[in-house]
Amino acid sequence: MNISFCCTNTPPEPWLVGLRAALPGAQVLVWQPGDAPADVAVVWMPPQAFWDAQPRLRAIFNIGAGVDALMAQRLPRGARIVRLDDAGMAVQMAEYVCHAVIAYFREWAAIDHDIRAGIWRAREPEARADWPVGVMGLGVLGERVARALQTFEFPVNGWSLSPKAIEGVRGFVGAEALPDFLAQTRVLVNLLPLTPATENILNRDTLSRLRPGAFVINVARGRHLVDEDLLALLASGHVAGATLDVCRTEPLPSDHPFWRHPQIRLTPHTSARTLVVDTIAQITRKIAAVERGEAVVGEVNAQRGY
Amino acid sequence: MNISFCCTNTPPEPWLVGLRAALPGAQVLVWQPGDAPADVAVVWMPPQAFWDAQPRLRAIFNIGAGVDALMAQRLPRGARIVRLDDAGMAVQMAEYVCHAVIAYFREWAAIDHDIRAGIWRAREPEARADWPVGVMGLGVLGERVARALQTFEFPVNGWSLSPKAIEGVRGFVGAEALPDFLAQTRVLVNLLPLTPATENILNRDTLSRLRPGAFVINVARGRHLVDEDLLALLASGHVAGATLDVCRTEPLPSDHPFWRHPQIRLTPHTSARTLVVDTIAQITRKIAAVERGEAVVGEVNAQRGY
């Protein structure tokens, strides 16, 4: 079996070492123009030229959870497309989101500000009932985040396109339930896949429906959010703050107002990093399953887009 | 029944309203010198003069979890002493500690620093196996914290004076196990009761036994920590940072080096605030149990000191 590795912004050495060790019968190479066509591709944002040189791929493994970049390319016909399924990302996402929610609920920025000013002032706790967290997208990552938030007794609601039953989470399904879901949300967490149906879903209309003084945490894709609409709602005070791990263009251009906005906490697409060892273990298991013609978790439905 | 309320730094109105509503047969008054002796006291750091005027108390309810201040006073003989048992504090403590641990593990301060400098730089994740969290004190609060940390897959060890079985937590018991416990700890969380046996327990000897680059989170009492020993270990680099919610003197004196130390994150004794409604519900339940001569959770063993 020939495996071609073509991952942008990813040092290839640990992947080659790990894949060769796990699959001693396979030839694993970093793709270069002119290479013979491969049987299996391991990719992250490859150039279109890569796909155009792959007429006989049986399977494509994306080393991230989101396949929106792939879906915008011309892919070889007949290849099964498999995205990363947790592989250590879900716990990172739970960690990132819980940290951000707690920081807002406990007013940690205001406490830090007091301390820098030499002021020792305790704040009265707010009622958790006034802080429902709404998680958009209840896939592997969204479900883990929704469960983790319950550790801290926040009311948790979830919105998804298809019904999902998660213990302790009140579910809202489909477009018609979105306004009701938003109206109950004090902290909005976006973990949706990026598809034509979800692009720009965080906009002036939807964000205006959140509870006054709401917070927005975007850990999915920058193109879910209409930047200027968020800025307008922060200016009006309807949205009190945002934690953004993703941007429409990454790295964020240096003149973008998100860099220094006092109510925006920015992180460099770091909420859930791909873990090499866990990911290789998952991919090698799935390669074997695909070779046996079996179904695998995380197989992308190209029609649906995720 | 006469209930005397004597709580320093506590606006009495919501307590009077709540206690009177819950116990319509009782007379509930804010203590003033010259008042007739009461049957039950509800206290937080009362003056010694209060105790000297209470010859016939049947029960003392402390509206916090720590009774170290009470134990240093001359209390009326024969009164049962009851401390707060959770009453909404445990979830706050879990929240505070998880926020602090995640901030260290994910290098949130360094990311914030990068972003302020206009730098978009992701960091490679560290292995959770290298981040064992050690919780000192496995009472109601410590146990809740230990459980919450497991949500994020940190290895969790616990140290306590008596054996405690908590699922997923490796237990270390008693003084002889302390060096081994410390040697395995990357993040130390102190939730011990303050007694003569635990005063100054966080000192140069114990902190030196932590893993190099360790972090210290003190959410118990300031007198557990020898301030100058922490400062020395921060200066040497053996301890990388500390999150301190409590100090030897509160508010912290304005000339204390903790105020502006770059590796110390200070909060104003706010990790777990007493919640009026939850606490009144608990105290009124326990008053009824004490009147019936029953045992109650949180009864203090004066010999043991907590």
- Structure confidence by residue, pLDDT tens digits, A258-289: 999 999 999 999 999 999 999 999 999 999 99
- Report the mean per-residue pLDDT for chain A: 97
> Structural domains in chain B?
2-87+274-291 (3.40.50.720), 89-266 (3.40.50.720)
How high is the pLDDT of residue A123?
Answer: 87
How high is the pLDDT of residue B191?
Answer: 98
In this prediction, residue A98 has a pLDDT band, given cuts at 50, 70 and 90, of very high
pLDDT tens readout for residues B245-304: 999 999 999 999 999 999 999 999 999 999 999 999 999 999 999 999 999 999 999 999
CA-to-CA distance for B147 and B166, rounded, in angstroms?
A: 8
pLDDT of residue B124 exceeding 90? no
CA-to-CA distance for A237 and B105, rounded, in angstroms?
A: 32
Could you tell me the two tokens for A149?
């938030």
Q: What is the CA radius of gyration of chain B?
A: 21
Q: Is B221 an active-site residue?
A: yes
Whole-model pTM: value is: 0.96
Determine which helix (DSSP H) or strand (DSSP E) holds B102, and give its type and residue range: helix B89-105
A–B interface: beta-carbon pairs under 8 A: 95
Q: Which residues of A touch B252 (CB under 8 A)?
A: 120
pLDDT tens readout for residues B193-225: 999 999 999 999 999 999 999 999 999 999 999
Interface touch A273/B125, C-beta < 8 Å: yes
| Amino acid (one-letter) located at B47 | P
Q: Which of B40, B2, B3, B9 is nearest to B274 (CA)?
A: B9
Distances (CA, A) of A43 to A21, A220, B85, B205: 19, 19, 53, 51
**Mutate which of B116, B120, B250, B255 to disrupt the A interface (most A C-beta within 10 Å)?**
B120
Query: What does the pLDDT average to over A245-257?
Result: 97
Could you tell me the two tokens for B286?
């326990």
Interface touch A124/B95, C-beta < 8 Å: no
Q: Helix H segments across chain A?
A: 13-22, 48-52, 68-71, 89-105, 108-116, 140-150, 178-183, 204-208, 227-236, 276-291
- Is the minimum CB–CB distance between A99 and chain B shorter than 8 Å? yes
How high is the pLDDT of residue A61?
Answer: 98
pLDDT tens readout for residues A213-227: 999 999 999 999 999
Q: Which residues of A are catalytic?
A: 221, 269
In this prediction, residue B123 has a pLDDT band, given cuts at 50, 70 and 90, of confident
Percent of chain A clearing pLDDT 70 (strictly above): 100
Interface touch A115/B268, C-beta < 8 Å: yes
* B252 and B258 Cβ atoms separated by less than 8 Å: yes
In this prediction, residue A165 has a pLDDT band, given cuts at 50, 70 and 90, of very high
Q: Which residues of A touch B250 (CB under 8 A)?
A: 120
In this prediction, residue B34 has a pLDDT band, given cuts at 50, 70 and 90, of very high
pLDDT of residue A124 exceeding 90? no
